[in-house]
Chains A and B, each alone.
Chain A
Amino acid sequence: MAGILKQNSPSSPPPPMSDAASAPAAKPPVDLVNVQINGTWHKLPKGMRMIEACRQVGASVPHYCYHPKLSSPGNCRMCLVEMGMPPRPQPGQEPEKDEHGMPKIGWMPRPVIACANTIGEGMGIKTEGKLTEECRRGVMEFLLANHPLDCPICDQAGECRLQEFSVEHGQAESRYREDKVKKPKNVDIGPRIRLDDERCIMCSRCIRFTAEIADDPVLGFTERGTHTTLAVHPGKRLENNYSLNTVDICPVGALTSNDFRFQMRVWFLSETNSVCTKCARGCNTEISARGDTVYRQSPRENNDVNSTWMCDQGRLDFHFVNSEYRLTDPMVKSDGKHAVTTWKEAIQSAASGLKGLGGDEIAIIASARMTNEELWLVKQLQQATGAKFIDVVPRSGGGDNYLRHDDRNPNSAGVRQILGIEPGAALDSIQRAVRSGLIKGVVALGENLLKCGFDKDSLGKLSVFVSTHILANATADLSTVVLPAASYAEKRGSMINATGRLQRLNKAVKSPGNARDDWEILNDLVSAISDQKSLGSVDEVFKQLAGSVTCFQGLTLASIGDLGRQVLETNETVPVLEREKERKAKGIIVG
């Protein structure tokens, strides 16, 4: 074993800050202690959980019940490791030293759990070796003794901790020759979740989530011993808007999502990092797709945004991406009928229509669901057409004391920064001007105008009505030019969330048919109307944005990274994060 003393940073590097002004005050000094892990001495922050210390030095400890955001009951016993401390020297005696001049460790005959115990000066930890391996093999054998092993039909298979740790620490053959305990299967515990009690390993993560994070303690154990059974309390349902997080943290296939159940084997899925666009929180997500079909969406850890959670509403709102109502081809209306055409002709038709109108006859209804890059191009379109009227459609309501924000648009902050408008401020006057016939041309970007106060008659009288849509709808039906656009899962781009964090969407799947990414549509439209040079990529659009809007200065789309960057000062806090900070300060959770 190498005789090196390693210095480790106390925790993962802090997320980069955009400017010096918003950088936090210098971190308070942390007491470092000397800890020997698998023979090598390290300096690590005092009071750190052993499991985190081990992880930090690359000696990951297998675990089931431990979750850094939840309290630690220490019930699975998978994380048992060998531990030792320097023996207290006899009075007047010097402690014995090892070859590094560190006190010799007296190893304890019994293993300890790494998840709940903290490190102290001179501690030794062995995550390898006979004792630890025996413990892990034993726990694995016990966990499988009464496990149904229905891996072939289990949704968790492929991402199951039971499977993973069996491979690493288990044994090939079972010595268990007794009848297995029978428990309820396929239990309906809530509108979005099914429970298989035979698969449950009783780690209590789901119970702790509902009690500690969602404040909805509807889950608990009934019966005892080997008959212990997870259940919803009588008369209760697991139906809060965060319920599906329990499926994520369940280490096995006991809790499955009704939505994802039996849809796809997980090993066929590929993951793309993105953000949820269903409210201004911008929860970080992972989109799982096979081919061009999205199968599920799950939260991705970001401790400045959503911790490791997301709401069910946001999570499940992706099926429209693969809807049969997707628009797949550009269409132009002639003689009251839409006809499929080429992109070139559709753009030409839209451009010439708009060019024939004066700026005070044109309104642009953009969307606060658009990316910053798209909004920048909207700005260019406004300049090219001279459009006097511009707004986006505000959406609000439904905020809660957890993650969900009252602003249901994901990029209102971007709208304010780039378009310089307050969402919804001009909508009334635009509607009036459309009704009075003052406005003769409307560009509607991704918004169904019939759902936000415009009426069918006046929209029908417009001489030019260009709209981009993802799904077929009545507004598209009224449009003179219909341009099929891309969903959030089909694009790369950025948005600014409610707390002023710039975050990036990435392209998980291709758009269907001939539908195109919105920035390309807008880019072409702007070039067709003005003589502005067409931009080659969305990264180039961002470059322009960075050159013209202060909060993007010095950034590139690539440099935003997967965890985003704080670009605006807001005084907003995230309720879930505030509570987690409190619990972390009390030492209840690792955070």
Chain B
Amino acid sequence: MASNPVEYLPGKQPHPREHRMIFRNVDRAGWDASIDTYLNDGGYEMAKKALKMERQDIINEVKASGLRGRGGAGFPTGVKWGFIPPTNTKPVYLICNADESEPGTFKDRYILHQDPHQLIEGMIISAFAVKANLAYIYIREEFPHAATIVEKAIAEAKNKGFLGKAIFGSDFDLEIYVHRGAGAYICGEETGLIESLEGKRPYPRIKPPYFPAALGLYMSPTIVNNVESLCHVKHILQMGGAEYAKLGTPNNTGTRILCVSGDVQKPGYYEVQVGKVTMGEVINDLCGGLKPGRTLKAIIPGGSSAKVLKADETYKLKDGRELTIWDIPMDFDTMAACGSMAGSGGVMIMDDSRSMAWVINNLNKFYQHESCGQCTPCREGSPWMAKISDRIIAGNASPDDVDMLEQVANQIEGKTICAFGEAASWPTQSFVRKFRDEIKSMTKADLAGRIVNEETKLAVAGLEA
């Protein structure tokens, strides 16, 4: 495959520990989002190759690659594709989830902005494999620029005969449409996304029975994959599933893009082999260490929904290993074993300048605002948590309120329609459990059981009603 040597824009060179595959062309010198640039770089060869393959062989390659979804849940992509009922007679749809709305996550946007054809190529291969003739890219409303670029890319590909009828001279037809979201985090949840695509409110569906692979868009089998996941498919075909699986670590294969934000010297995106770098290496090597004179306090390792890790914790693993926060390899399984998740790859680093009560209040407010409001525990519980934490940071709460905050989270977790319930309650649960004393230190014992009204608020502020 024609592959030109890759040079990067000044100051944007990848860190030597990175393994650029998906982000190979991000910040690349002389690179633009046009189809010609992509073709000059050997683009669309894998799509051509795929259309000559047996569908099952492609699915087998993806299974063999061990690719796990990069959207949050880390579900094996090949296995998901295999869930389409073999007896299906309805049309199959492929949806690219470009809603990227998990706080702390900023990877998909670079693919959309700088390398849209990589995504389209991945989607052609994936659509062919799952027998979808219609595919959608659901782009969040806050990415207007990305939508324009992707639409242009689709038009270019169509012009070349890479999309539309009988693509690459095969008998396979494929149309890809861009669908714009309407500004809600819940549109990233796959069944909410599907409802939104159908023109309705993005109310997530109950599962069972509405597993997308069987009853998805228009009640037809639908595969929803993240932008990054779909891009990986191209590379799996290029390398072969077995070869791809050698990247990363067993059961945690390939590369993934870490989006590091917070209190480090060089926050940003870093594509690394899954599990080949540790949290310590992320902070100290990739990101140039903590800010001067600061110490690590906490890390949210996989998007805002992931449970927080506390700097002084140690994690006992089943195989007997004992890890500190610095030793955790950035993979799916170890992160789960440490009680959190790799999620969407959004790593948020917090140093000792951060107030944990403030952080949890900030997160609670996000989830309060984004709860779709369909099911009771999340609709009523998320704002309650926000209001309690509001009072905590305002000094208008009692120590019992902190415990109650955790109990409210417990009443949400596992009882909702969609995983937003966990997304909203895990941060609270983990922050309160791990930083209870710190949070309680902001409360006043004599406020216990008091009705909160303007009077108490004023009294707390030292004023008379």
- The yes or no verdict on A and B being binding partners is yes
Q: Quick check: is A117 within 8 A (CB to CB) of the other chain?
A: yes
Q: With A and B bound together, what is the CA distance between A475 and B381 in angstroms? A: 65
Q: Quick check: is A505 within 8 A (CB to CB) of the other chain?
A: no
Q: With A and B bound together, what is the CA distance between A77 and B375 in angstroms? A: 7
Given A77-B377, A117-B208, A177-B451, A141 and B411 touching (CB < 8 A)? Answer: yes
Q: Quick check: is A97 within 8 A (CB to CB) of the other chain?
A: no
Interface mask (A216-244 → B, CB under 8 Å = 1, otherwise 0):
00001101111110000000000000000
Given A176-B384, A177-B452, A225-B368, A143 and B414 touching (CB < 8 A)? Answer: no
CB atoms of A224 and B372 under 8 A apart: yes
Q: Quick check: is A577 within 8 A (CB to CB) of the other chain?
A: no
CB atoms of B411 and A75 under 8 A apart: no
CB atoms of A226 and B382 under 8 A apart: yes
CB atoms of A202 and B379 under 8 A apart: yes
> Of B373, B376, B387, B412, which one neighbours A227 at CB under 8 angstroms?
B373
Q: Shortest distance in angstroms between B188's beta carbon and chain A's nearest beta carbon?
A: 14
Q: Quick check: is A85 within 8 A (CB to CB) of the other chain?
A: no
CB atoms of A226 and B206 under 8 A apart: no
> Of B371, B380, B388, B417, which one neighbours A74 at CB under 8 angstroms?
B417
CB atoms of A138 and B371 under 8 A apart: no
Q: Quick check: is A113 within 8 A (CB to CB) of the other chain?
A: yes
Residues of A within 8 A of B371 (CB): 224-226
Residues of B within 8 A of A522 (CB): none
Residues of B within 8 A of A117 (CB): 208
Q: Shortest distance in angstroms between A295's beta carbon and chain B's nearest beta carbon?
A: 32
Q: Quick check: is B49 within 8 A (CB to CB) of the other chain?
A: no
Q: Quick check: is B415 within 8 A (CB to CB) of the other chain?
A: yes
> Of B203, B388, B452, which one neighbours A73 at CB under 8 angstroms?
B203
Residues of A within 8 A of B201 (CB): 220-221
For window 77-115 of B, CB contacts with A under 8 Å fall at none
> Of A142, A176, A179, A223, which one neighbours B376 at CB under 8 angstroms?
A142
> Of A75, A109, A145, A224, which one neighbours B384 at CB under 8 angstroms?
A145
Q: Quick check: is A457 within 8 A (CB to CB) of the other chain?
A: no
> Of A113, A176, A225, which one neighbours B373 at CB under 8 angstroms?
A225
Interface mask (A65-79 → B, CB under 8 Å = 1, otherwise 0):
000000011111110
For window 157-186 of A, CB contacts with B under 8 Å fall at 175-179, 181
CB atoms of B373 and A74 under 8 A apart: no
Q: With A and B bound together, what is the CA distance between A201 and B382 in angstroms? A: 16
Q: Quick check: is B370 within 8 A (CB to CB) of the other chain?
A: yes
Q: With A and B bound together, what is the CA distance between A146 and B372 in angstroms? A: 16
**Which among B370, B371, B382, B450 has the greatest number of chain A C-beta atoms within 10 A?**
B371
Q: With A and B bound together, what is the CA distance between A228 and B379 in angstroms? A: 9
CB atoms of B206 and A178 under 8 A apart: no
CB atoms of B383 and A226 under 8 A apart: yes
Q: Shortest distance in angstroms between B88's beta carbon and chain A's nearest beta carbon?
A: 17
Residues of A within 8 A of B379 (CB): 142, 202, 225-226, 228
CB atoms of A226 and B380 under 8 A apart: yes
Given A73-B203, A142-B411, A226-B380, A202 and B373 touching (CB < 8 A)? Answer: yes
Residues of B within 8 A of A177 (CB): 450-452
Q: With A and B bound together, what is the CA distance between A422 and B374 in angstroms? A: 55
Q: Quick check: is A139 within 8 A (CB to CB) of the other chain?
A: yes
Q: With A and B bound together, what is the CA distance between A175 and B404 in angstroms? A: 9
CB atoms of B417 and A75 under 8 A apart: yes
Q: Quick check: is B462 within 8 A (CB to CB) of the other chain?
A: no
Q: Quick check: is B209 within 8 A (CB to CB) of the other chain?
A: yes
Residues of B within 8 A of A141 (CB): 411
Residues of B within 8 A of A228 (CB): 373-374, 379
Interface mask (B357-380 → A, CB under 8 Å = 1, otherwise 0):
000000000001111111111011
Q: Quick check: is A576 within 8 A (CB to CB) of the other chain?
A: no
Q: Shortest distance in angstroms between B165's beta carbon and chain A's nearest beta carbon?
A: 34
Q: Quick check: is B416 within 8 A (CB to CB) of the other chain?
A: yes
Give the residue name and chain of the B residue nearest to A226 (CB): B383
Given A177-B452, A178-B384, A139 and B206 touching (CB < 8 A)? Answer: no
For window 404-429 of B, CB contacts with A under 8 Å fall at 404, 411-412, 414-417
Q: Quick check: is A190 within 8 A (CB to CB) of the other chain?
A: no
Q: Quick check: is A482 within 8 A (CB to CB) of the other chain?
A: no
CB atoms of B372 and A225 under 8 A apart: yes
Q: With A and B bound together, what is the CA distance between A181 and B201 in angstroms? A: 21
Q: Quick check: is B311 within 8 A (CB to CB) of the other chain?
A: no
Interface mask (B179-190 → A, CB under 8 Å = 1, otherwise 0):
000001000000
Residues of B within 8 A of A73 (CB): 203, 206, 374
Given A138-B411, A178-B384, A75 and B375 touching (CB < 8 A)? Answer: yes
CB atoms of B376 and A77 under 8 A apart: yes
| Given A201-B376, A220-B201, A226-B380, 20 extra CB contacts under 8 A | A73-B374, A75-B203, A75-B376, A75-B417, A77-B376, A110-B414, A116-B206, A116-B209, A135-B415, A138-B415, A139-B377, A146-B380, A175-B404, A177-B452, A178-B452, A179-B387, A224-B372, A225-B383, A226-B371, A226-B383
Q: What are 5 inter-chain pairs, A to B, with CB distance below 8 A?
A: A73-B374, A77-B376, A145-B380, A176-B384, A178-B388
Using a CB–CB cutoff of 8 Å, the interface residues on chain A facing chain B are: 72-78, 80, 109-111, 113, 116-117, 134-135, 138-139, 141-143, 145-146, 175-179, 181, 201-202, 220-221, 223-228
Closest 9 CB pairs of A and B: A138-B411, A228-B373, A142-B380, A74-B206, A178-B387, A225-B371, A226-B383, A225-B373, A110-B414
